[in-house]
Structure 1
Amino acid sequence: MAHGTPEPQPPAPAPHPLDPLTADEITAARAVLHGAGLVGDTTRFPLVLPDEPDRHTVAAHRPGDPVVRRVRVTLLDTATGTAAEAVVDVGARVLLAHRPLDPAADGQPPVLFEEYERCDEIVKADPGWRKAMAERGITDTSLAVCAPLAAGNFGRAEETGRRMLRSLTFLRCETADNPFAHPVGGLVADVDLTERRVVRLIDTGAVPVPAACGRYEAEFNGPARTDLKALETSQPDGPSFTLDGHRLSWQNWSLRLDFNAREGLVLHELSYRDGDRVRPVLHRASLAEMAVPYADPGPDRNWICYLDVGEYTLGRNANALRLGCDCLGEIRYVDAVLPDDHGRPQTLPNAVCIHEEDHGLLWKHTNMFSGFSAESRRSRRLVVSCIATLGNYDYGFYWYLYQDGGVEFEVKSTGLVQTSAAEPGTVSPYATEVAPGLQAPYHQHLFCARLDPAVDGHANTVEEVDIVRLPMGPDNPNGNAFTVRATPVTDSGEGGRLADPAVGRRWRITNPAARNRTGQPVAYTLTPQPSGPPLLAQPGSAVAARVAYAAKHLWITRSAAGRRYPVGDYPNQHPGGAGVPEWSRPGESLENTALTLWHCFGPTHLPRLEDWPVMPVDRCGFTLRPTGFFDRNPTLDLPRESGAGGHCHAQGR
């Protein structure tokens, strides 16, 4: 805090332990650290996050109880490159813990926003880069873009301990042009952000810079279609959900909304009211990481693998959403309060969108034995969403809650494919030519959802369920029989699992202490969507070490303090091995206990011509559906539908 700035007043106690950080709390955390002599002119705040209490503390909380609010802060001195982590009790205004970080062992803090511009300035000032550009016939570099790209860790001794970025160069025809239409091929600058210099320049030789623009705005692609009629969504009585502070309720569902700088949207305490019982389903749900490794083995591209949550802070890159463009219908928006690089609060308006939407048929039956009478109900779902832009890609994240107790998570990937340059007409085994001389490299999007189940309580067990065909024989004379095989995952050493669509593999989260009316344990089933293989980088590679979670479609670990992210707390330039590899060593029981499921999913993207110059949405995700959680269809109490002409009803024939 600058000298002369009035001391902030202690923040009022939060009404609930899982509420998002407030502006007062962020300000108080900074003030405590400043008072302890830990903040100077060159101190930056890569992370300011709530230090979430454990499940048992949350479960014991009652309205009106005093709330202890702790904040985890990562500090970075941009002058020296030293970093530290601190924990502050913002209610008591007390520094609880402080420890220095070892960049070689712990990894680097995430990339700061101000380092985007700094990287561009450092590269453009480098004589070697300027010479390489001139050799390519480019002397006016005012419209060049030097991208700030995560460096990874490839075991190079000269990079150990340095705060690094690697930079590719792109050009623009003018300031609003799409730079990814004009990559400068064969040129990479390795940047030391602390020393503020290029420490290595890779130049594999000039190739022509693609000249064609990649403009996607309406004024460059007209005339616009004229045959679209108006399509309106109207709820004249308002939406069916209620938002009380951060508590969201809809159609028997209730949950708590959170939004933090690293993960963005987080859902807490998802529960379903079943008659007179409120039954927990999930303690916590978020997108905890997303890796984007590329397939080009060339020296100017073989290092590219981004961790957009841990390296770039997904939440801080979220969009301010716009009515009718990003969300449609009777909308309620929620703002997010996030720290800037200096640890001061900023409000992102409309960070989260909440709305309902029709989802087609929920159930129907026509009774042919009673005059073909029919009953049907339409499905409605609640949508809680946010959108973030990470460089060239834009990602929409959608949590869907259904009236029948189902939960779905969907990622919509759009934006711009990353590009490289080649001689026009070049056929690459690692990329698609999407325009003359413009290559779009093959890559993967490997999302990792963190799911902390609480199926009728916190003591859960996961079973891997396969469909098994039975051999022909006396008990199966026609060969038509198949059954299911459920295998409990009981030890942490067995917690890494692969999907197998050939046997319809899914994972059933059970509570052995709670039984349904047939005497079986209540359960929810996680069903992966067939969206692509796990990580394709070779075992033993630097990417495989750093993105170990993506080697499996599911990891089941025991919940514990500090197990927050599948790649550990600081994946930026980390050598690998943190996170799920550490927590999946044999010896921890996974039976009847608090668990965390880390579900990896996402497409292997082989770009198409149709993905340029802007990519239509590509969808992936998963579902969680009740499986013996209820004793019967929980939507039988939905009213009959009414349409424009009155009630929908069966017609005799």
Structure 2
Amino acid sequence: MTITDLDLTPGSSADGAAVHPLSSLSSTEFERIRDLVTAWPDFTATTRFAYVGLEEPHKAEVLAWQAGDGALPDRRARVMLLDMATGRSTDSLLSITTGEQLSTLELDGSHGQLPVLIEEFEAVGEIASADAGWVAALAARGLTVDEVVCVPLSAGFYDFEEEKGRRILRVLAFRQDYPEDHPWAHPVDGLSAYVDASARIVTRLIDAAPLAIPATSGNFDDPALQGEPLSTLKPIVITQPEGPSFTVDGEFVSWANWNFQVGFDVREGLVLRQLSFDDKGVARPVIYRASINEMLVPYGDPSPVRFWQNYFDTGEYLFGRFTNSLELGCDCVGEIHYFDATMADELGNPTVIQNGICMHEEDFGTLWKHSDMFTGSNETRRSRRLVISFFTTVGNYDYGFYWYLYLDGTIECEAKLTGILFTSSYPGLDENGADYPYASEVAPGLGGPYHQHLFSARLDMTVDGIANAVEEVDAVRVPIGPGNEHGNAFTKRITRIASEKESGRLADASVGRAWHVINTSATNAMGRPTGYVLLPQQSPVLLADPSSSIAKRAEFATKALFVTQYDPAEKYAAGDFVHQNPGGDGITAYIAGDRPLDGEDVVLWHTFGPTHFPRPEDWPVMPTDYAKFTLKPYGFFDRNPALNVPASAGSGSHAGAGASDAAGGHCAHEGAGAAHAGHGGHGAGVSLSGPELLEGGHAGHAPHGA
């Protein structure tokens, strides 16, 4: 297809049909972008596409168009290009519809570099193997280059003189005994190479004291290591005889009272747009855009070959490109709807990951219930949730991101972490008999360095509109005294976050801290602001020293919450160009103007995730760990919004039930009796919705350890 084959008017597709301004780029659009860009005079045979994504219109333009007060916005793309031969890096905007090159910025590296290319990852092993120092260091350990695999990793920023202006990757080695052997079991510790990927040279070799290479097996897929299969598990069958309750039109989804759009971006992966809740026929907006915009994995081992291990899996690696192709019965169970994930490869060609995003319903137990001692009323409603998810494999770790929508208006985001630990050799006890303080011994001689997984959720809020504010709410103990003579009183303290510089907040379980996003002009039946509350999971933020390089590069991770005024240019918590960024971008720059936040169009940047002190049980493959946050309506509705969940027939029998009660409604029993000590004789429908099984195919691996 050539450019002249396409006759696109603004906001239209190749066939002339209108395209929603927020729709994900299609294969046809990626082809047009490729053909436009490769025709630019400065495009060379060694130029690669580092990133291609939709440049979303300003929110005001989209809302005006939807309200009938504005024109359909132009379709635009952002294109980042890297010349592999020279290192020249550019960031451009173009109009897909007119073909115009709207702007181009050439990067000088002072504020970071473009994301790492797969082609650069793949070249690192060859570059290291050609270096005499690397070969000699391996030989001193009794190894050849053919016996090790090189793991290329992002470099961070440490102001090393020889790295200025260069695209640097750092390399660690693992022994692989045969092609099916998982090398993570055999780290070649005490050795690291720093590689200039463009010049294809080793700029520095770190050869510290060699450590013994662990001999343990990491072959979790070997039946001999797995042991005798567990034979007592019976099948769980999940069916919806009448089909799912949601409807899908392209990327647009309706389910129960929820309406939203599913999108995909190669940097962020799954994106949810314009979530609204139908309240008695009125579509009330809650979130304009929700995504995991950054993911930082900082390691805590200060050894000479590991002090720099800090990965930004979103900004440095574009973790969306490693999205798994999900498989029914393994990754997703039940009545599934899949969305494909479409992106551009490094030559600009469209690539489609089949079944990249999974959507299905799950039974979720009791929605609400009461057996009343006075009236004899005995009512139960069953809950269910809509699950929208994707999995990405970034080197050794596998990450699933699950967005849950509930019947009562609750929204949750849950990260699931599995895969293989990034390992080290375990030094053992020191001369004083003390354990190594920065890693766990997970197998004989094998270390699991301490690390964190810090996800940044960007939540562009529209709670009943764009006039929002954020309040921090703490539980407060009231001292005993006048008015509280018996000392039983407690209340809450509400602090309005007035401006961006004061928005950096920490979670605090001791006071049950939560953050309320309220509308400053809309009220509920009680005359109070409508709102949603962000309930954080209590976990540490970045543990590195505040003066460290990583703390400067990732200020977003030093707090559980930042709040900014909406700006379409402020997309990523660590900034646009994260690779080798010295710091000062992202949240640091966004809050510098200290814009007011009261009654404004606000964006929440929420950091969440686990601090991982690995266990032996995490080896050789890690059972899934979880981290999440919750958004619940708080005064958004006048009463319980799930009162109208329809009835379902109770099933008193478990034997032969097979599948779940498809209706997911309630069980009601008249005349159940008055006062009682327990809950007798009510028939709750049997619903079996087992956890997702974590296996199946994937689109590819970035050769790094997160």
What is the CA–CA distance in structure 1 between the aligned matches of 2:427 and 2:557, rounded to whole Å?
A: 34
In the alignment, which residue of structure 2 is the partner of 1:648? 667
- Number of the residue aligned with 2:93: 87
Q: Which whole-Å CA distance do the structure 2 matches of 1:624 and 1:563 have between them?
A: 22
- Selected match of 2:245 from 240, 248, 252: 240
Contact 2:359 2:389 in 1 (8 A): yes
Q: Secondary structure of the equivalent of 1:180?
A: helix
Residue by residue over 1:235-285, the C-alpha shift from the partner in whole angstroms, topping out at 9 and shown as x without a partner, is: 011000111011011011000111011000000000000002100000000
Q: Quick one: which of 216, 219, 222 aligns to 2:220?
A: 216
Aligned to 1:561: 568
Residues 417, 626 of structure 2: 8 Å contact kept: yes
Separation in structure 2 between the aligned mates of residue 175 and residue 594 of structure 1, nearest angstrom: 54
Q: How does 1:315-330 map to 2 (within 5 A)?
A: 315-330=320-335
Q: Secondary structure at the match of 1:641?
A: coil
Distance 1:367 1:143 in 2: 71
Q: Cα distance, 1:14 vs. partner?
A: 4.9
How far is the alpha carbon of 1:34 from its aligned partner? 2.1
Q: CA deviation at 1:15?
A: 2.2
Structure 1: distance between partners of 2:150 and 2:349: 28
Within a 5 Å distance, the mapping from 1:251-290 to structure 2 comes to 251-290=256-295
2:297 counterpart SS class: strand
Partner of 2:200: 196
Rounded to whole Å, the distance in 1 between the matches of 2:457 and 2:275 is 15
Partner of 2:32: 28
- C-alpha distance in structure 1 between counterparts of 2:314 and 2:252, whole Å: 25
1:429, 1:620 → 2: CA distance? 25
User: For residues 5 and 582 of structure 2, what CA distance do their matches in structure 1 show?
Assistant: 40
Taking the aligned partners of 2:409 and 2:556, their CA distance within structure 1 comes to: 29
User: Structure 1 CA distance, aligned partners of 2:372 and 2:546?
Assistant: 57
Matches within 5 A, 1:329-344: 329-344=334-349
Residue matched to 2:137: 132
1:576 maps to 2:583 = yes
Which residue of 2 is the match for residue 501 of structure 1?
509
Matched residue, 2:661: none
Q: Which ranges of 4 or more aligned residues in structure 1 deviate by more than 6 Å?
A: none
Using the size of structure 1 for normalisation, the TM-score is 0.97
> 1:15, 1:479 → 2: CA distance?
62
How many angstroms apart in 1 are the aligned matches of 2:635 and 2:55? Answer: 35
**Residue 45 of structure 2 corresponds to which residue in structure 1?**
41
CA distance in 1, matches of 2:535, 2:288: 19
Which of 496, 519, 524 does residue 516 from structure 1 map onto? 524
Question: 1:468 and 2:476 equivalent?
Answer: yes
CA contact (8 A) 1:424 1:438 kept: no
Give the partner amino acid of 2:124: C
CA–CA separation in structure 1 for the residues paired with 2:594 and 2:411: 32
Give the drift of 1:5.
7.2
- Residue 447 (structure 1) aligned with residue 455 (structure 2): yes
Query: Structure 2: how far apart are the matches of 1:329 and 1:283?
Result: 29
Mapped to 2, the partners of 1:386 and 1:587 lie a distance apart of 35
| Deviates most, 303-312 or 341-350 | 341-350
**Aligned partner of 1:438 among 440, 446, 452:** 446
The alpha-carbon distance between structure 1 residues 445 and 529, as it changes in their structure 2 partners (threshold 3 A), is same
Q: Does 1:77 align with 2:77?
A: no
1:163 equivalent to 2:171? Answer: no
Output the CA distance in 1 between the equivalents of 2:55 and 2:149: 37
Which residue identity does 1:648 align to in structure 2?
C
Question: What residue is the counterpart of 1:50 in the other structure?
Answer: 54
For 1:176 and 1:259, locate their aligned partners in 2 and report how far apart those are by CA, in whole Å.
33
Judge conservation of contact 2:3–2:32 (CA < 8 Å) in 1: no
Q: C-alpha deviations, 1:513-546, integer Å up to 9, x for none? A: 000000000000001012x211110011111111
Alpha-carbon distance change, 545 to 106 in structure 1, aligned in 2, over 3 angstroms: same
1:479-558 aligned at under 5 Å gives the runs 479-530=487-538, 532-558=539-565
Contact 1:556-1:598 within 8 A present in 2 as well: yes
User: Partner letter of residue 198 of structure 1?
Assistant: V
| Secondary structure of residue in 1 paired with 2:126 | helix
Q: Structure 1 residue 645: deviation in Å?
A: 5.4
| 1:218 CA displacement | 5.3
> Is 1:185–1:422's contact at 8 Å kept on the other side of the alignment?
no
| 1-structure distance, mates of 2:4, 2:550 | 46
Alpha-carbon distance, 1:149 to partner: 0.2
| Distance of 1:301 and 1:641 partners within structure 2 | 57
CA distance in 2, matches of 1:438, 1:128: 26
In structure 2, how many angstroms separate the alpha carbons of the residues matched to 1:645 and 1:206? 65
Q: Work out whether residues 419 and 441 of structure 1, in 8 Å CA contact, stay in contact via their aligned partners in 2.
A: yes
User: Could you tell me how far 1:609 is from its partner in structure 2?
Assistant: 0.5
- State yes or no: 1:226 paired with 2:231: yes
Per the alignment, in what secondary structure is the counterpart of residue 613 of structure 1?
A: coil
Task: State whether residues 430 and 441 of structure 1, in contact with CA within 8 Å, keep that contact through their aligned partners in structure 2.
Answer: yes
1:456 aligns with 2:471: no
Q: Structure 1: which 5+ runs fail to align?
A: none
Question: What is the distance in 1 between the residues matched to 2:595 and 2:525?
Answer: 32
Distance 2:405 2:124 in 1: 42
Report how far residue 66 of structure 1 moved. 4.1
SS of the aligned residue for 2:626 comes to strand
Structure 1 partner of 2:686: none
Check if 1:295 corresponds to 2:300.
yes
More deviation, 61-70/416-425: 61-70
Q: Say whether 1:9 aligns with 2:6.
A: yes
Residue 62 of structure 1 deviates from its aligned partner by 3.9
Distance of 2:568 and 2:672 partners within structure 1: 62
Cα distance in structure 2, aligned partners of 1:493 and 1:543: 20
The aligned counterpart of 2:605 is 598
Give 2:120's match in structure 1, choosing from 115, 120, 123: 115
Structure 2 residue identity aligned to 1:510: I
Cα deviation code 1:53-77 (max 9, x no counterpart): 1111111224996451100000100
Distance 1:210 1:30 in 2: 47
Question: How has the CA–CA distance of structure 1 residues 67 and 205 changed in structure 2, closer, same or farther, with 3 Å as cutoff?
Answer: same
Could you tell me whether the CA contact under 8 Å between 2:471 and 2:494 is conserved in 1? yes
Offset of residue 143 of structure 1: 4.0
Structure 1 residues 8-17 or 479-488, which shifts more?
8-17
Contact 2:428 2:436 in 1 (8 A): no
Give the letter for the 1:345 counterpart. Answer: P
SS at match of 2:60: helix
Shift of 1:370: 2.2
State how far apart, in whole Å, the 1-side matches of 2:4 and 2:160 are.
Answer: 45
Q: Once superposed, what is the RMSD of the aligned Cα atoms?
A: 1.6
Residue 142 of structure 1 pairs with residue 135 of structure 2: no
Deviations 1:289-332 (A, max 9, x none): 01001111111100100000000001111111111111111000
Q: Matched residues in 2 for 1:194 and 1:586: separation? A: 37
* AA at the equivalent of 2:465: G
Change in 2 beyond 3 A, CA 1:6/1:512 = closer
Unaligned runs of 5+ residues in structure 2 are 8-12, 654-665, 674-706
Question: Amino acid of the residue matched to residue 445 of structure 2?
Answer: G
Structure 1 residue 384 corresponds to structure 2 residue 403: no
Distance (Å, rounded) in 2 between the aligned partners of 1:57 and 1:218:
56
Q: Deviations over 1:351-372 (max 9, x none)?
A: 100000011111000011123x
| 1:177 equivalent in structure 2 | 181
SS at match of 1:497: coil
SS at match of 2:580: coil
Partner SS for 2:668: coil
Write the distance in 2 (CA, Å) between the matches of 1:378 and 1:597: 32
8 Å contact kept, 2:61–2:73: no
* Structure number with higher relative contact order (C-alpha < 8 Å, ≥ 6 residues apart): 2
Structure 1 CA distance for aligned equivalents of residues 126 and 602 of structure 2: 46
1:396 pairs with one of 397, 400, 413: 400
In 2: Cα distance, 1:114 partner to 1:380 partner: 44
- 1:321 aligned counterpart, secondary structure: coil
CA offset at residue 93 of structure 1? Answer: 1.2
Separation in 2 of the partners of 1:599 and 1:492?
A: 14
